């Protein structure tokens, strides 16, 4: 028996009437353990949460030899069988997933109403020529640029929020690829190594006002508080995104015991009890930094 963790992203293919549905997920067995190996995956799009057969099955596509790594996999619906955009011209779309001919994985998943999904499901996004922030295109308006969905941001600038990569501008991802390898992947040209380089003239710079990428080399990432106040928040408060914090130890004390005493007898004016005091250093131990367990990755930032 399989269970699954699923995620979807809708993108436009080269043909104007066709779309592709990127489906990523993780296969687990009934004990919650990751399933590895090569599998047959079948994706079915429905217009109903439970009904089967025609006319409820809108699109069916099978993928043979799908390899999973620690249970993770990715397939692109519409890559082997044409997925026409007219399929999405209805209020709701549900997705069913079958593995190796077994029954569908639990309840079907309802596609979310993301901006890209809204366009793909029949909401026509115009190719607006009007200036962002004008009466014809107020803040928050969406348009199709021909390659991505764009939003009129608060700075009255058209900013890309999705394209074939499916991630919004400003997203940071960890990768086991070198910069050259990452750049060679589909959509890799929209990303840069987060090494402090200039990103002037990019959608990221327009949206955030930052003309350089954060330098994340050798850094751990830390989530911003965003109002958290349960004792687990960053004690330094609401730091600006991209803020750097140097390493430090939490304030603490060490208890020291064992001060010595000396008894002097029959020493004339020197007789009595005296306390020995002074300071000593402990022997050095450890390495060249304080750190948690870690694995080395490259961080990439989406800029367009």
User: pLDDT in tens for each of the 304 residues of the chain?
Assistant: 455 545 454 444 444 456 777 777 777 776 667 788 898 999 999 988 899 888 899 999 999 998 887 777 888 888 888 888 777 767 678 888 888 888 887 778 776 444 344 333 333 444 556 677 776 666 666 666 655 566 666 677 776 654 444 578 899 999 999 999 888 877 788 899 999 999 998 888 888 889 999 999 999 998 898 898 999 898 889 998 888 888 888 887 776 665 555 555 555 555 555 555 566 667 777 788 787 888 899 999 999 8
Q: Are 93 and 47 a contacting pair, CB within 8 Å?
A: yes
Distance separating alpha carbons of residues 197 and 147, to the nearest angstrom: 26
Give residue-wise pLDDT tens across range 237-259: 999 888 888 888 888 777 666 55
Q: What is the third-level CATH fold of 2-112?
A: Immunoglobulin-like (2.60.40)
pTM higher than the cut 0.75: no
Alpha-carbon distances, residue 64 vs 40, 58, 76, 101, 147 (angstroms):
5, 20, 12, 11, 30
Q: Are 188 and 286 a contacting pair, CB within 8 Å?
A: no
Distance separating alpha carbons of residues 35 and 72, to the nearest angstrom: 8
Give residue-wise pLDDT tens across range 173-198: 999 999 998 888 777 888 999 999 99
Q: Are 35 and 2 a contacting pair, CB within 8 Å?
A: yes
Helices (H) and strands (E) in the chain, counts: 3, 15
**Residue 91 buriedness (CB in 10 A; 0-12 / 13-18 / 19+):** exposed
Domain boundaries, the chain: 2-112, 172-217+297-302
DSSP string, 246-266: ---PPP---------EEEE-S
């Amino acid at each position: 028996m399989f269970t699954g963790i699923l995620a979807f992203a809708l993108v436009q293919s080269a043909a104007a009437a066709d779309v592709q549905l990127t489906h990523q997920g993780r296969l687990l067995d009934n004990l919650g353990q990751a399933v590895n190996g090569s599998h047959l995956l079948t994706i079915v799009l429905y217009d109903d949460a439970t009904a089967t057969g025609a006319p409820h099955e809108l699109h069916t596509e099978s993928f043979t030899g799908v390899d999973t790594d620690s249970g993770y996999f990715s397939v692109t619906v519409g890559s082997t069988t044409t997925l026409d955009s007219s399929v999405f011209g209805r209020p709701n779309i549900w997705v069913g997933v079958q593995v190796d001919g077994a029954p569908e994985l639990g309840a079907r998943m309802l596609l979310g109403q993301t901006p890209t999904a809204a366009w793909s499901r029949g909401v026509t996004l115009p190719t607006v020529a009007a200036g962002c922030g004008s009466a014809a295109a107020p803040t928050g308006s969406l348009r199709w640029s021909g390659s991505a969905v764009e939003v009129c941001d608060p700075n009255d600038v058209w900013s890309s929020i999705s394209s074939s990569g499916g991630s919004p501008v400003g997203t940071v991802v960890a990768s086991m690829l070198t910069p050259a390898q990452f750049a060679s992947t589909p959509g890799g040209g929209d990303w840069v190594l987060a090494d402090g380089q200039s990103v002037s003239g990019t959608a990221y710079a327009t949206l955030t006002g930052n003309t350089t990428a954060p330098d994340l080399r050798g850094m751990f990432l830390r989530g911003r508080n965003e109002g958290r106040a349960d004792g687990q928040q960053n004690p330094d408060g609401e730091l600006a995104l991209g803020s750097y914090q140097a390493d430090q130890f939490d304030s603490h004390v060490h208890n020291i015991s064992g001060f010595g005493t000396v008894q002097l007898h029959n020493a004339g004016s020197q007789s009595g009890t005296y306390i020995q005091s002074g300071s000593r250093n402990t022997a050095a131990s450890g390495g060249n930094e304080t750190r948690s367990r870690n694995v080395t990755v490259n961080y990439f930032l989406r800029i367009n």
